[in-house]
Structure 1
């Protein structure tokens, strides 16, 4: 049983490491902090609940069952952190969020204090490592302590289920899938862990023996619930990193074209930098390069390619992208050759600079390798600048 519990703790802990990889930036985000605190406390609950840990704690303290209030207090702290996470996730005014967080922390601080006091008042001299909840189900003060920790955890899981159901209707994509995974994990915790605990305890009160529900069924159900919840926490971030990796690769042609004129500071070296960080730096650097190339924009090139694309049957948006790709390629050539800016240069905003996110830059990057229109290029000086034309230089090496 200890192996299963330790494995669940390891999964929970690794989730927090992945979410909290950049401490200086993460501590500024209450949502990230509360998420990582909840995950770390969840991992500590599993560590404390392992029979091997309980035996060691009891031996070191010299107090039979000292690991019980330690585990139950840690579980209550985890329940509190879950509610704090939900408060930060929902958002609102800073003062309102802080007030709610303080109320929740105060309530669970009283709960943890009550657990410790009840344990001190109880007569629990017989060490129980796996069946303490049922063995002491009828013992004064121990009975109340057990019910208190279960009720505190049940409240947190019920609130989490309600919030996940409501938010899953308002969002879509990976976030909705993540919420559904968290919901399944919370329901499994409620049914597979808490309901089995309640049932085994009530059975003891009525003179029946259903201890196997608490000792055999509940621990693996709690571990599986933790696995699903951690997957739900990670999924939106993992999908975002995957999408960022794709955009980073699709921006490579554009970056290879303009990187020689970019003056943006280079990022710190390191293979460990996640795709979103790499994409953010590449996006900033490309925008910086576009500003540097703006004086070299020859609008005769743009107008010629745009008109040619429209005559070839392309949509206005596709014609604009083809024209801007040719305009940018011509500007990069002029800048590399240290030519004087053309007399037709003027103020013009590329489509990629008018839209938020990386979508505009990705479209521009893809247009660089797309034929201007119908496989033929217009005559004139612009021909050598057209993406996909016969005179296009070798494809740049992707960094």
Structure 2
């Protein structure tokens, strides 16, 4: 059981590491901070609730079952952090957000303190690593401690369910998907963890033994519910960034043939190589460097090469835009060949502007790179359909 719980904690905490990978930027964003705090606390709840951790904490402190108030206090703090996260996520006037956050803290800080006090007042001499809730369900003070942490967690979870249902009616797209994941995780927590815990404790009060609900059913349901909630919080924030990185990496690679052809001309300073550079940063540097190289090759652009290649592409059935890009690729290849051979620039260089320099972003450069790889017009030239090169 401990291995499964530790694995869930690791997966839970990994999303916080990804969100907080740029600490200087992240600390300025209350939403990012509250997201990371909630996820880290959730991960700590998993770690603290593992039997191996409970045994180690009890042994280190010399207090039997000291891991119980530690886990319950951590779970209450996690419940509070979820409410704070939802408050920041919903947004609104700063004073209103601040006031709601203070209310959440005012409710849960005393609750955590009460959990510790009730444990100190109770008699928990027998160490219980997996069934403390039901074993001490009838013990004075410990009974109240167990009910208090469960009620505090239930209040936060039900509040999340209500907020998610109301807010999901107002939003669309990834945000709605994230809210639905949070709602699914919260419902699973209520039905799979809280209801089973309440049922097992109530059964003890009535003289029955349903401990299996508390020891076998509740923990995996709580883990799954927490992971769904974590995914719901992280999805709207990470997925757009991830997709942007994927697109940047794709364009970076597609620009490879164009960069290989013109890199000897570029004078753009190379940034310090860092393994943590994002694909977007790498793409930006390649884009700037290619534009610099195209500027350096401009004196070698020959309009006659481009016009003949354009005619060949149009006669091959290309659309006007496709023919233009194909002709530009042939002209660029010709210019790069002559620049690499250290030939003299043209006496009357072309004033023609490449399509890639007329559009923003990397789409034009990608089109040029793809055409440079295919270069059907240049193939036709080499076969003798048109003569484009000098000599």
TM-score w.r.t. length of structure 1: 0.75
Structure 2: unaligned runs, 5 residues or longer: none
Please identify the structure whose Cα radius of gyration is greater. 2
CA shift for structure 1 position 183: 4.9
Q: 1:1-399 alignment to 2 at 5 Å?
A: 1-90=1-90, 100-158=100-158, 160=160, 163=164, 166=168, 170-171=172-173, 183-229=183-229, 233=234, 236=239, 241-260=245-264, 261-270=266-275, 273=276, 277-294=278-295, 296-297=297-298, 298=301, 300=303, 305-306=309-310, 308-333=312-337, 336=340, 337=342, 339-340=344-345, 343-346=348-351, 348=353, 350-351=355-356, 354-356=359-361, 358-372=362-376, 376-377=380-381, 379=386, 381=388
Relative distance call for 1:147 and 1:348 in structure 2 (3 A) is farther
**Larger deviation, residues 334-343 vs 72-81:** 334-343
Per-residue Cα deviation, 1:201-242 (whole angstroms, up to 9, x for no partner): 233344433221111111122233345555664773666555
**Is the alpha carbon distance of 1:349 and 1:21 closer, same or farther for their aligned partners in structure 2, counting shifts above 3 Å?**
same
- State the secondary structure of the residue aligned to 1:313: coil
Contact 1:87–1:97 (CA under 8 A) maintained in structure 2: yes
Q: Is the 8 A contact 1:267 1:281 kept in 2?
A: no
Q: Secondary structure at the match of 2:172?
A: coil
Structure 1's 68 and 365: CA in aligned 2 closer, same or farther, altered over 3 A? Answer: same
Superposed displacement of residue 74, structure 1: 1.0
TM-score, scaled to structure 2: 0.77
Q: Structure 1 pair 286/228, CA: closer, same or farther in 2 (3 Å)? A: same
Q: Is the 8 A contact 1:79 1:156 kept in 2?
A: yes
Distance 1:71 1:137 in 2: 17
CA contact (8 A) 2:115 2:149 kept: yes
Q: 1:323 to 1:211 in 2, by over 3 A?
A: same
Shift of 1:142: 3.2
Q: Structure 2 CA distance, aligned partners of 1:93 and 1:350? A: 46
Aligned mates of 1:309, 1:339 — CA distance in 2: 28
Cα 1:117–1:332 shift into 2, 3 Å: farther
User: Which string of whole-angstrom CA distances, capped at 9 and with x for unpartnered residues, describes residues 63-101 of structure 1?
Assistant: 333222211111122223333444444556666655554
Label 1:21 to 1:307 Cα distance change in 2 as closer, same or farther (>3 A).
same
- For residues 167 and 322 of structure 1, the distance between their equivalents in structure 2, rounded to whole angstroms, comes to 49
**What CA distance in whole angstroms lies between the structure 2 residues aligned with 1:334 and 1:278?**
32
Q: Please, what is the CA RMSD of the aligned residues? A: 3.9
- Aligned pairs, how many? 376
Give 5+ residue unaligned stretches, structure 1: 385-399
Once residues 355 and 96 of structure 2 are traced to their aligned partners in structure 1, the CA distance between those partners, rounded to angstroms, is 42
Cα displacement string for residues 237-260 of structure 1 (whole angstroms, at most 9, x for unaligned residues)? 666555544333222212222333
Change (3 A) 1:166 1:332: farther
User: Contact between 2:73 and 2:115, CA under 8 Å: does it hold in 1?
Assistant: yes
